[in-house]
Chains A and B, each alone.
Chain A
Amino acid sequence: MPDCDSMRQNMPLLLTESLDPATRELTHQHIETCALCVTEWSAYKETWSILDTLPKLDVPARVKQRFLAEVSPAAATPNVVPFRRRGTPRWLAQAAAVVIVAGGAFYGGHRTTRRIELPTTPAALTNVQPAAPFYSIAESRVLPAASISPQIEGRPDIQNVQFTDASPSNTQIGVSFDITSHVTVTGHPTDKSMVRLLRYVLENEDKQSPSRSRAIDWVRSTYSHVGNPDPEITEALANVLRTEGNQGVRIKAADTLQSLQSTMTDGTRDALVEALKNDPNPAVRIKAVEALARLARSGGNLDPDMVDTLRKKASQGDENVYVRVKAAEALSSIQPK
């Protein structure tokens, strides 16, 4: 399978976290859905763990130079006199060469090697634990039976069960179903996975229970104590402010943005300016103008549109007086640069 080949080429880079986010995601998705690649991936991770347990040896400069000249002749610098270390046993150099070549091949990752055979030692093998793949919260996934624990915990609600036997020629069967399971994700508020999960919760309201309003309350109480919350959180709130129909939720989104001022991006500021200009609810406009006033006082990133909007609001006769006063207060703290 050509797809598997390219994915397997990505595996060493995946191990060293050198893949770009899109390819990383693609590779993970493939591994989750391909039984053969799961095995391959497990082998890579096992090998990687074993490599950690091998003794580290100093590589003689001569060996290193020869190796580098072999893998990248252009990098060889003939005008540099190599440092030759004397008296090193020949077997040690050879052992180091084996390690370097194996490591280089591993990093290059241009082979679909199933498993790098290494001498087994009791210490190395007993310490290796099969690394669990990343748990991704997905709408649907295909899992090989081998990757699932035989033990079913609790009594999960399983519905819409379907049995498949795609190819009668082999012994593989499939069982697909909808499962309702309760997941608790723990971590630091700044963990990227946690931030992404909260962003998803904030931005997707369908069938969300309890309400998005409560999610915003929780985000506010959590992230107002975090020094510099991830900008993704404020961007998610800005999207809520732009798109939410429920005015109570918009009020909370604007209020929470005010309390998370430290990570206000240009997009967030623009959402507040837009809310101040056009939101029909005066309370949303109040929260927006208060947030912008705070931004102005803190010497934050101001742009002409924001200043212009504040000026118009302060002078707008039919605007709520409190909004006008707050806009005027914001303007008074602006020092043009």
Chain B
Amino acid sequence: MRTTVRTTVRTFLAAAVLLSTTQLFGASFAASSRVVREFPVDPAGSVWIDNPFGSIDVIGGDGNVISVTADRTLMAPDTVTLKEAADAVALSFEGDTKVRLIRTLLPPMKNVRWTVAVNYVVHVPRGVNVKIGGSKSAEHIRVANVNGSVTVNGFTGVVMMEGVVGASVVNMVNGRIIYDYTQKPVARAQVQAVNADIDMWLPANSNFDWVANTINGDMLSTFNVKARSFNGSVFHGVVGSGGTTINTESMMGHVAVLVTGSNLSDAQSFRVNEAGHPSGGDVLRQPAKKIQMPFVNGDFVFAASVADVTVGEVRGNARVETGAGEVELGAVFGQCNVTSLGGPLNLGDIMGSLFAHTGAGDIIVRAARMGGQVTTDGGLVRVIYAGGPMTLRSGGGDIIVRQFSSIMDAETSSGDVTLTADPAQKTIKVTARTLQGNIVLNVNPRFAAEIDATILTSDPDANEMHIDFNGISVRREQVGNKTRIRATGKINGGGERVELYAEDGDIHISAQNVAPLRLANPK
């Protein structure tokens, strides 16, 4: 192959200089230039395009030459900065007939006062492999009539794949991804996005396996999709007799495979719609929702994959299940059952028994009148008032109870536990454990209990046992390279068992008079 640069045109299309009045109004300066190049390339060679800012059009055709037209536009607030931009931005054409590399070069620490957009139109032989990368912002990235493999990696913009025959991989963060197959798919397509919608149009007689995944969006199709199944949030289906795999995955957007000529509005959703009580793991199949209501008259049953739920008052039982999101229930007159795979739970006055769990996040309960169970795999647990027996668990985070009147069982794998007993109660059974942190138990001076408190520490000088009651004996013993400090005895004549265990932390049983909390009765 002979290497020939056919044409070089360097034209300044515009250099707008608006001095005086325009500058006063904050107008910017712009400069545009065009570069045209041609290079020979093998019909099965590769073309790599790396362009951070600007659109890219790659169009397949006949021949064995790459034709590149690059329009560069610079914008700056003043002429000095514009000059700096012009010096800083360079176009690079490298490689040989096997691999052609077209790049826009920017300085590593680009001055944010100027902007650049380089729009490329690249005509390539139909059989080449195309790889587009490094795109941060593009109005569009379009690849058309290319039979070779195509890879697109970018941040934001609309990706259009038209008549692409070979295997393709597209990975975007924001924007939209559109495929338009002009013939039946024969090669694998792997399309991933974070916030972008993915829409694919294929001929009606296509045969392929469809894998779809989205957390927040929907899975839609106008094809007759057979052999449908879910594995977690991942949907599997077969179109026609099956064949090559088309994998569409968008975290927050929808994914759709559509018959050419059909509309998205006609598409069928493959999420399970409103199954009343989805079993474990199924919640991610539910559509995403956002709900905000002042009150619900009766029971409130809700399930969604991604949901922010805010309900002021539920005058019945509440059952909420989400994959991710924030749940806030102001008051629940009946039983309350809230399960989230992740996200904070903020629960108000719960009259019936309470079960609340989140896979990650804080849980705040204003009042659990009948007690219950509150657990998080990681996060803070704060209960203002516990009227019945409570079990509190955290995979890592503090546990704080402002007042408990019944049996209390609190445990965290790392964090402090602070519990305050109802001053009106003479004795209450308490169990508290932390594998790294302090325990503070506040009780009234007349509180009676049988105390068994243990600290296991590698720093016995730093970690101490403070008990504001007489009648407690404290022993220290060496256990391996740690010291165990154990305090046992009866206070105020003895009562329910209070069992406290802290590793690498203090234990403080504090005698103090605190004002009891009083809850208002529901109307």
A residues with CB within 8 A of B: 206-207, 209, 211, 213, 245-249, 251-252, 280-286, 307, 311, 314-315, 320-325, 327-329, 331-332, 334-337
Instruction: Tell me whether A286 and B192 are in contact (CB under 8 A).
Output: no
In the complex, whether B282 has a CB less than 8 A from a CB of chain A is: no
In the complex, whether B335 has a CB less than 8 A from a CB of chain A is: no
The count of A-to-B residue pairs whose CB atoms sit within 8 angstroms is 151
Instruction: Tell me whether B436 and A247 are in contact (CB under 8 A).
Output: yes
In the complex, whether B371 has a CB less than 8 A from a CB of chain A is: no
Instruction: Indicate with 1 or 0, residue by residue over B167-179, a CB within 8 angstroms of chain A CB atoms.
Output: 0000001100000
CB closest chain-B residue, reference A248: B415
Instruction: Tell me whether A325 and B215 are in contact (CB under 8 A).
Output: yes
Interface residues of chain B: helix, strand, loop or mixed (majority): loop
Q: How many residues on the B side are at the interface (Cβ–Cβ under 8 A)?
A: 55
Instruction: Tell me whether A336 and B436 are in contact (CB under 8 A).
Output: no
Instruction: Tell me whether B360 and A247 are in contact (CB under 8 A).
Output: no
Instruction: Tell me whether A248 and B325 are in contact (CB under 8 A).
Output: no
In the complex, whether B348 has a CB less than 8 A from a CB of chain A is: no
Bound-state Cα–Cα, A248 to B325, Å: 21
Chain A binder among B1-9, B77-85, B239-247, B393-401: B393-401
CB closest chain-B residue, reference A337: B112
In the complex, whether B450 has a CB less than 8 A from a CB of chain A is: no
- Given A246-B436, A251-B397, check contact A285 B360 (CB 8 Å): yes
Instruction: Tell me whether B362 and A283 are in contact (CB under 8 A).
Output: yes
Instruction: Tell me whether A248 and B194 are in contact (CB under 8 A).
Output: no
Bound-state Cα–Cα, A209 to B462, Å: 10
Instruction: Tell me whether B156 and A336 are in contact (CB under 8 A).
Output: yes
Bound-state Cα–Cα, A286 to B397, Å: 13
Instruction: Tell me whether B416 and A248 are in contact (CB under 8 A).
Output: yes
Instruction: Tell me whether B306 and A206 are in contact (CB under 8 A).
Output: no
When distances are taken between beta carbons in the complex, the residues of chain A under 8 Å from B436 are: 245-247
Bound-state Cα–Cα, A226 to B216, Å: 37
In the complex, whether B195 has a CB less than 8 A from a CB of chain A is: yes
Between-chain CB contacts (< 8 Å), 12 pairs: A247-B396, A251-B380, A282-B359, A283-B397, A315-B251, A323-B342, A325-B252, A325-B306, A328-B252, A331-B173, A331-B195, A332-B174
Instruction: Tell me whether A321 and B323 are in contact (CB under 8 A).
Output: yes
CB closest chain-B residue, reference A324: B251
When distances are taken between beta carbons in the complex, the residues of chain A under 8 Å from B395 are: 281-282
When distances are taken between beta carbons in the complex, the residues of chain A under 8 Å from B412 are: 248
In the complex, whether B185 has a CB less than 8 A from a CB of chain A is: no
B residues with CB within 8 A of A: 52-53, 110, 112, 115, 136-137, 155-156, 173-174, 192, 194-195, 215-216, 251-252, 284, 305-306, 323-325, 340-344, 359-362, 376-380, 394-398, 412-416, 436-438, 461-462, 504, 506
Partner of B377, one of A282, A314, A337: A282
CB closest chain-A residue, reference B417: A248
Instruction: Tell me whether B396 and A336 are in contact (CB under 8 A).
Output: no
B235 CB to closest chain A CB, in angstroms? 15
B517 CB to closest chain A CB, in angstroms? 20
Instruction: Tell me whether B342 and A286 are in contact (CB under 8 A).
Output: yes
Counting chain A CB atoms within 10 Å of each CB, which of B195, B323, B396, B412 scores highest?
B396
A293 CB to closest chain B CB, in angstroms? 13
Instruction: Tell me whether B341 and A322 are in contact (CB under 8 A).
Output: yes
When distances are taken between beta carbons in the complex, the residues of chain B under 8 Å from A321 are: 215, 284, 305-306, 323-324, 341-342, 359
B523 CB to closest chain A CB, in angstroms? 33
CB closest chain-A residue, reference B381: A248
Partner of A314, one of B194, B437, B438: B194
Instruction: Tell me whether A251 and B379 are in contact (CB under 8 A).
Output: yes
B360 CB to closest chain A CB, in angstroms? 3
Instruction: Tell me whether A314 and B361 are in contact (CB under 8 A).
Output: no
A170 CB to closest chain B CB, in angstroms? 39
Instruction: Tell me whether A322 and B136 are in contact (CB under 8 A).
Output: no
Bound-state Cα–Cα, A213 to B342, Å: 24
CB closest chain-A residue, reference B343: A322
Bound-state Cα–Cα, A333 to B151, Å: 25
- Given A246-B416, A248-B415, A325-B324, check contact A283 B215 (CB 8 Å): no
Instruction: Tell me whether B437 and A325 are in contact (CB under 8 A).
Output: no
A284 CB to closest chain B CB, in angstroms? 7
